[in-house]
Amino acid sequence: MSTPVASVDANTGASPASQAAGTRPLPRALERCQNITDLREAARRRLPRGVFEFFDRGSEDEASLRNNREAFARIKLRNKVLVDVSRRSMAMPLFGKPMSMPLAIAPTGVAGVCWYEGEAELARAAAKAGVPFTLATPSVTSIETIAAVEGGRKWFQLYMWRERELSYALVQRAFDAGFEALILTVDTPAPPIREYNRRNGFSMPFQPNARALIDMALHPRWLMTVMARYLAKEGMPKLVHYPTGAVSRMAPGAAPKSAVPNLRGDNLTWDDLKRLRDIWRGPLMIKGVHLPEDAARAVEEGVDAVIVSNHGGRNLDSAVAPIEVLPEIAAEVGGRIPVLLDSGVRRGGDVVKALALGASAVLSGRPTLYGLSVAGEAGALHALSLLRREIDATMAFTGCASVSDIGPRAVWTGPR
Ligand SMILES: Cc1cc2nc3c(=O)[nH]c(=O)nc-3n(C[C@H](O)[C@H](O)[C@H](O)COP(=O)(O)O)c2cc1C
């Protein structure tokens, strides 16, 4: 099953590492981007400040956002020497289907504001890279448009609304469109507090204030290639899966309007999960788990995977970093179902650390968004290629020829 790393990738038609290494011509904007930090900086220059901060920043004091990276940095890797790793492979199955590396694209709402129809560009990049793509409920591009993207594995992320029937209708749409798996996000019982969005005038529905208008005018490339295309075709980008008026109603302190559906999600319980389990026949995951007892309950309820996540530091500030609680959750789950992890993955070494501590795979949120913002599909693919190259190198250094070789001995977590 093992494929040599220098072989041609069935999905991209290129050597997996070669795109990142620059052997295939890259769009100019990507040429200098040698890692995810470079891509972030290029995205920062390209996007209006309000848009960039919406994608890049965390909540409140951003303690979780910072700690997500610091927690990865605290874990060290160990060389394993004199192991033949000349024929190594990152490929692995998840839910019985192949992934070219242990990574999937996380759901990221309004990705279509980074790039015109950004969600479709991400889906195409994921398909080419051989990894699953997750479409978020709050997306600018519809379930059906994503379903029409050729190839690839497509997952749908669900925010369960107070008016459950509307959510079930979305689940049905995702099923009818052929989406493979469903992720129920369970870590957002209240709107997160992100003060910069208010200052920058960045909100959904997209109603830019004077500051945001100046900001956009200062970024003519984005204005012409993203916003102007929406305006010419369908008007302001909007959350296509949300009933009209419902987004404004969810804002804190908003006056309830009886004619508009209530989409708040603060009364979600395990009973809802049971119901969803009955409705959704494919793989079902829950995202946002921090407690071993919740992971154990998820297994009992017949969930197919848990995702340990703090929403990339965007929701509960001071929430623990997923990598810090991963070992106890993985121990509780005991291999009965896969445990996935996201939040703060920026290097292939982070992926190997997560796998060594019990994850089956990780999700990437911002890295692919940065790439998307710089060069659409090619940029997202570049982000995936950079991570792929780094996973490959880290596997070689730690003496792992396959993903199943990655275990606790690859990491050092501090003196006991
Ligand atoms: C701009 C943005 C929008 C997001 N929107 C959603 C969403 O709609 N649903 C969801 O479950 N998670 C959402 N997330 C969280 C991601 O799925 C993921 O948990 C997080 O980005 C992982 O952290 P990372 O960005 O450090 O990789 C969003 C993240 C970002 C950055």
Residue-level pLDDT at 135? 98
Q: Is residue 19's pLDDT more than 60?
A: no
- Output the residue whose Cα is nearest ligand 1's atom 20: 312
Here the CATH number for the domain that contains residue 322 is: 3.20.20.70
Q: Is residue 39's pLDDT more than 60?
A: yes
Pocket of ligand 1 contains residue 342 by CB under 6 Å: yes
Residue-level pLDDT at 257? 54
Residue 157 CB partners (closer than 8 Å, separation 6+): 107, 134, 135, 136, 137, 182, 183, 184, 185, 287
**How far, in Å, is the centroid of ligand 1 from the Cα of 300?**
26
Q: Is residue 247's pLDDT more than 70?
A: no
Run of H or E including 397:
helix 366-397
For residue 146, give both structure tokens. 């994503």
Residue-level pLDDT at 265? 84
213-243 tens-digit pLDDT: 899 999 999 999 999 999 999 898 889 999 8
Say how far apart CA 33 and CA 20 lie, in whole Å: 9
Q: Could you give the residue numbers annotated as active site?
A: 311
- Output the residue whose Cα is nearest ligand 1's atom 4: 108
**How far, in Å, is the centroid of ligand 1 from the Cα of 3?**
31
In a domain, 312, yes or no: yes
For residue 133, give both structure tokens. 């793509």
Tell me which amino acid residue 63 is: A
Number of independent structural domains in the chain: 1
pLDDT interval class at 14 (50, 70, 90): very low
Higher pLDDT, 70 or 194: 70
In a domain, 120, yes or no: yes
- Output the residue whose Cα is nearest ligand 1's atom 27: 365
Q: Is residue 245's pLDDT more than 90?
A: no
Say how far apart CA 409 and CA 168 lie, in whole Å: 44
Average pLDDT taken over every residue of the chain: 91
In a domain, 188, yes or no: yes
291-322 tens-digit pLDDT: 999 999 999 999 999 999 999 999 999 999 99
Cα 86 to the center of its chain, rounded Å: 31
Pocket of ligand 1 contains residue 287 by CB under 6 Å: yes
- Output the residue whose Cα is nearest ligand 1's atom 21: 365
**How far, in Å, is the centroid of ligand 1 from the Cα of 311?**
5
Tell me which amino acid residue 95 is: F
Say how far apart CA 159 and CA 181 lie, in whole Å: 14
**How far, in Å, is the centroid of ligand 1 from the Cα of 57?**
11
Residue-level pLDDT at 415? 79
- Output the residue whose Cα is nearest ligand 1's atom 6: 108
Q: Which of 314, 347, 364 to mutate to test the pocket of ligand 1 (most atoms within 8 A of CB)?
A: 314
Q: Is residue 53's pLDDT more than 60?
A: yes
Ligand 1 nearest-atom number relative to CA 136? 8
**How far, in Å, is the centroid of ligand 1 from the Cα of 107?**
6
Pocket of ligand 1 contains residue 138 by CB under 6 Å: yes
Pocket of ligand 1 contains residue 194 by CB under 6 Å: no
Run of H or E including 31:
helix 28-31
- Output the residue whose Cα is nearest ligand 1's atom 10: 107
Pocket of ligand 1 contains residue 109 by CB under 6 Å: yes
Q: Which of 51, 239, 311, 323 to mutate to test the pocket of ligand 1 (most atoms within 8 A of CB)?
A: 311
- Output the residue whose Cα is nearest ligand 1's atom 3: 108
In a domain, 1, yes or no: no
Please state, as a whole number, how many other Cβ atoms lie within 10 Å of the Cβ of residue 10.
Answer: 11
Contact 204, 240 (CB under 8 A): no
In a domain, 273, yes or no: no
Ligand 1 nearest-atom number relative to CA 344? 26
Q: Is residue 7's pLDDT more than 50?
A: no
In a domain, 251, yes or no: no
Query: ∠ at Cα 63 (60, 67), nearest 5°?
Result: 150
Pocket of ligand 1 contains residue 312 by CB under 6 Å: yes
| Domain extent at residue 30 | 18-78+90-195+282-391
Share of the chain above pLDDT 70, in %: 89
- Output the residue whose Cα is nearest ligand 1's atom 13: 108
Per-residue DSSP letter, 152: S
Q: Is residue 22's pLDDT more than 50?
A: no
Say how far apart CA 122 and CA 115 lie, in whole Å: 10
Per-residue DSSP letter, 319: P
374-404 tens-digit pLDDT: 999 999 999 999 999 999 999 999 999 999 9
Sign of CA dihedral 365, 147, 230, 191: negative
In a domain, 206, yes or no: no
In a domain, 235, yes or no: no
Say how far apart CA 337 and CA 303 lie, in whole Å: 8
Say how far apart CA 114 and CA 254 lie, in whole Å: 27
Q: What is the mean pLDDT of residues 113-135?
A: 97
Q: Is residue 12's pLDDT more than 70?
A: no
Q: Is residue 130's pLDDT more than 60?
A: yes
Say how far apart CA 61 and CA 383 lie, in whole Å: 27
Residue 21 CB partners (closer than 8 Å, separation 6+): 15, 389
Q: Which segments of 82-200 does DSSP mark as H helices, in order?
A: 118-129, 143-147, 164-176, 195-200
**How far, in Å, is the centroid of ligand 1 from the Cα of 106?**
6
Q: What is the mean pLDDT of residues 42-53?
A: 95
**How far, in Å, is the centroid of ligand 1 from the Cα of 85?**
34
For residue 82, give both structure tokens. 């004199």
Q: Which of 108, 308, 364, 369 to mutate to test the pocket of ligand 1 (most atoms within 8 A of CB)?
A: 108
The number of helices, as runs of H, and strands, as runs of E, in the chain is: 18, 12
